[in-house]
Structure 1
Amino acid sequence: MSTDPAAPGPRGAAAHADPRRGGAVVVGGGLAGITAALRLADAGVPTTLVESRPRLGGLAFSFHRDSPAGPLTVDNGQHVHLRCCTAYGWFLDRIGGRELAPLQRRLDIPVLDARSRRLGRLRRSAAPVPLHLAATLATYPHLSPAERLRAARAALALRRLDPADPALDGQDFATWLRRAGQSPRSVEALWDLVGVATLNARAHDASLALAALVFRTGLLSAPGAADVGWARVPLGTLHDTLARRALDRAGVRVRTGLRVRGLGRDADGRWRLDTGRSPGAPPEPAATAVLAVPQDQAAALLPAGALPDPGRLAAIGTAPIVNVHVVYDRPVLRRPFFAALGSPVQWVFDRGAAAGLAPGGGQYLALSQSAAHADIDVPAAALRDRYLPELARLLPAARTARVRDFFVTRERHATFAPVPGVERLRPAAHTRAPGVYLAGAWCATGWPATMEGAVRSGHAAAHEALARLGHPHGDAPWGVGVRTTAER
């Protein structure tokens, strides 16, 4: 249910509504919505968060599986963050989860080539940028000496690009790499190795602006910017249990299992939610509404005239991620994770301890497959036939191990598609509807669709709302710099 935000309500009350009255309602319980709700509540705004699912966490969640290997708590997908993800770092601190998702002391990514069986490592030193990567690039076995030199030159050229330049958004990353002298092997072994995992797109499908942001910020902003962190507990522990506890302490009223079907204004100019036949009464009308939902849902909920070009949201495409889960009867991997080359396998993580696999119960590996257009509709049995032989090729111990469990999780719309031209489509947090704001990793944060981008979008929405309320507490709570000291 939508109304024209420019039209007054009954008796003209909407035209004179006081934005400081009526509190706030946040629709969507992912990282963007949780962040917006916490920031609003921390500033003293009475806030209600509404989520259609029975849990919080959005697309970074966990579920329980009765596996032949025993009960498991499974993440729908493997999510990592970097030291440069200062907003997500703030989020972890805010919910009390920093120690449960620690960062590496220093960047160290094992990279295994299935064709040659050679193991390379992408590491950093404590030297200043760009020398912090000089040693690892000089010895990286998956590139020739000439390719390493050209890669170093390309990295320096990337550092000179401005991701905010609109001209970069119209170009694809692969074309730029080719002009920078990068061979197909360099793209596979270096640029796509990082880019596919962070952008959810290969270089030929990725906006140069977003690629420049990823590489400039992650690899070329500070020595420790790309140090990798990941949850040592199920994502649900962080994004549902701890987040819900933090929201409760902040005074946010959380309503799960409540589907929002429309947004309209009442006689006092406040925004009210149409929750259809969902159980329980809808939240009280609010002066501020934050829509922290996927772009197609936001487009359906926004009042007429809220965006100058509502077709922009429909033009933002999505990209899939597939995760393959394998439980072996014995350990087959001696390190916490690795990236693969020359194989359909992309990244492999040991998730046994986090998932609650019983000691002596074998080993649980999760394969994270980004830009998974070719796999998203493939039956699990066919994916088993494809990926188990590849794991045996990469990990000799897997050749004699027995598979105790195999299953697949899929997110068809895992992220927005970071194609050239997408930046001009991504909307800002504010809309033309007074008191209505947008949040979500698909909004105009400048970041790709990551947990970092989601948190930044939630803050941006709260910042805009608090500014309209005349509240002084809307500044970003995290620093703009990147900590380079080792985590304790």
Structure 2
Amino acid sequence: MTPADDPVSGQAVVIGGGLAGITAALRLAEAGLRVTLAEGRPRLGGLAFSFRRGGLTVDNGQHVYLRCCTAYRWFLDRLGGAALAPLQDRLDVPVLDVGGARPRLGRLRRNGLPVPLHLTAGLALYPHLSLAERASVGRAGLALRKLDPDDPALDDVDFATWLHRHGQSPRTVEALWDLVGVATLNATAAHSSLGLAAKVFKTGLLTEPGAADIGWARVPLGELHDTLARKALADAGVTTALRTRVAGIDRRPEGGYQVRLDGETLEADTVVLAVAQREAHALLPEGAIADPGRLLAIDTAPILNVHVLYDRRVLRRPFFTALGSPVQWVFDRTEASGLTDGQYLALSQSAAQDEIDTPVAQLRERYLPELERLLPAARGAVVRDFFVTRERTATFAPAPGVGRLRPTARTDAPGLFLAGSWTATGWPATMEGAVRSGLDAAGAALTELGRPHAHPLEEAA
């Protein structure tokens, strides 16, 4: 049977409606394929979503991106949502240290000079490190700049060992490297692959002056990753099937696949499996990849999100991060949530293995006094609501050795491709990595089909 005679030719099924699946579906549809996207949840967006609580719209967790996240920026542009998640004009991170006798505010920020001078002045004025420690950071930065994040040897070394070898004190790791690394890698330096850490720090801090400028959604994530994504998919001709779980993927004797859903079967010559690694392992046809057990060896790491609604304004800046406190990053989500009276703060607690199952009452006892210690205006304020969202498998764990476990988009089965931030994108588990994986999977599928296409990031360059 020729492709022209085969009714399945040109049909694609994307399984999973997170950022990776949305991206793959859009790219395949733009190339002329007839695409169905199947998602088990009643919404799109994967683990970056919103929900209603009372009269508010709440994000499950705070998500940010950097100017160097070119794939996610393309994604926002493609959905028509870039203006809803703007970037800082220049990197500026308020860092409040309450570990000493008196609270002290510092800032991590850049100027407009070329790399690496763009950070020199900010580092020189950073009060949370001694003069000697600041000098040691500069030397480590120069050494980091020489590393190749794609070197497989770096994947076997933990970041903390490398930092120690390059003269970084425990205080320097706490007040700088882990301050950034825990938020971007979801692991401390001791539990992070040097390769992934080098990717984060080299790309974000040592490529272009503005690479680490921070962006975040000023609207609920669901408005971007669900509402706008559904419209973009529909406009591209994608059929989106929500509340649709995939029971299995079977190879057809004549080629292509049958995708078994709850109540029907879809046939396609191209399938993109854009789900978490354990779910992908359960759905992979036999022989699709060598040693499929390695997918199960890719561990996960949790993120805990603490949500506090006050009866008054207690924070005057959009966000800050803390030292000497269990509190990590705090964001003002008042306007985005729709709150019109008081203030809503969201605390993002990464690498939260020790707290992910802690009861809400205990978390309340721990974090409300800490917020009062960090924010004097919170003392005496009435807490109208306190709740917690938990993502127990928020990201893949970026531990040393994970690089050799992450599969590429291509499988050994023709027409079957993998997507998800856990695949071999070279990035940690970020929104950027998820979008890049969708681009990789769609590009590999179109190449195999002989369909002309160009990578959108290369087009932008």
TM-score range, shorter chain: over 0.9
* 1:187 match: 173
1:282-321 residue pairs with structure 2 within 5 A?
Answer: 282=265, 284-321=266-303
Given that 2:8 and 2:256 are in contact with CA atoms closer than 8 Å, whether structure 1 keeps it comes out as: no
* 2:331 match: 349
Given that 2:205 and 2:211 are in contact with CA atoms closer than 8 Å, whether structure 1 keeps it comes out as: yes
* 2:126 match: 140
Shift of 1:272: 1.3
Shift of 1:15: 13
Distance 2:106 2:7 in 1: 57
Selected match of 1:48 from 36, 40, 57 = 36
> Deviations 1:300-319 (Å, cap 9, x if unpaired)?
11111111111110100000
Distance 2:354 2:317 in 1: 28
Tell me which amino acid in the other structure corresponds to 1:104: Q
Distance 1:267 1:218 in 2: 48
Q: TM-score, normalised by structure 2?
A: 0.97
Segments of structure 2 that go 5 or more residues without pairing to the other structure are none
Distance 1:477 1:396 in 2: 45
Given that 2:90 and 2:110 are in contact with CA atoms closer than 8 Å, whether structure 1 keeps it comes out as: yes
Selected match of 1:281 from 264, 281, 288 = 264
* 2:417 match: 437
Shift of 1:18: 7.0
Shift of 1:386: 0.3
Three-state SS of the structure 1 residue aligned to 2:107 is strand
Distance 2:217 2:306 in 1: 18
Shift of 1:268: 3.7
> Deviations 1:116-170 (Å, cap 9, x if unpaired)?
3110001101100000000000110000000000011101110100001111000
> Deviations 1:167-216 (Å, cap 9, x if unpaired)?
10000000000111001110000000000000000000000000000000
Segments of structure 1 that go 5 or more residues without pairing to the other structure are 1-12, 482-488
Distance 1:73 1:336 in 2: 18
Distance 2:2 2:264 in 1: 23
> Deviations 1:216-244 (Å, cap 9, x if unpaired)?
00000100000000000000000000000
Shift of 1:479: 6.1
Three-state SS of the structure 1 residue aligned to 2:21 is helix
Given that 1:16 and 1:269 are in contact with CA atoms closer than 8 Å, whether structure 2 keeps it comes out as: no
Distance 1:95 1:429 in 2: 23
Say whether 1:59 aligns with 2:47. yes
1:125-204 residue pairs with structure 2 within 5 A?
Answer: 125-204=111-190
Shift of 1:114: 1.4
Distance 1:301 1:192 in 2: 36
Say whether 1:414 aligns with 2:394. yes
Shift of 1:270: 2.2
Say whether 1:253 aligns with 2:253. no
Q: TM-score, normalised by structure 1?
A: 0.92
* 2:385 match: 405
* 1:272 match: 258
Distance 2:393 2:368 in 1: 25
* 1:32 match: 20
Shift of 1:273: 1.3
Shift of 1:412: 0.2
Distance 1:91 1:162 in 2: 27
Identity %: 69
- RMSD between superposed Cα atoms in Å: 1.7
* 2:85 match: 101
* 1:10 match: none
Three-state SS of the structure 1 residue aligned to 2:456 is coil
Distance 1:214 1:84 in 2: 10
Tell me which amino acid in the other structure corresponds to 2:312: R
Three-state SS of the structure 2 residue aligned to 1:121 is strand
> Deviations 1:90-121 (Å, cap 9, x if unpaired)?
00000000000000000000000012311000
* 2:193 match: 207
Tell me which amino acid in the other structure corresponds to 1:50: A
Aligned residues: 459
Q: 1:393 to 1:341 in 2, by over 3 A?
A: same
Three-state SS of the structure 2 residue aligned to 1:64 is strand
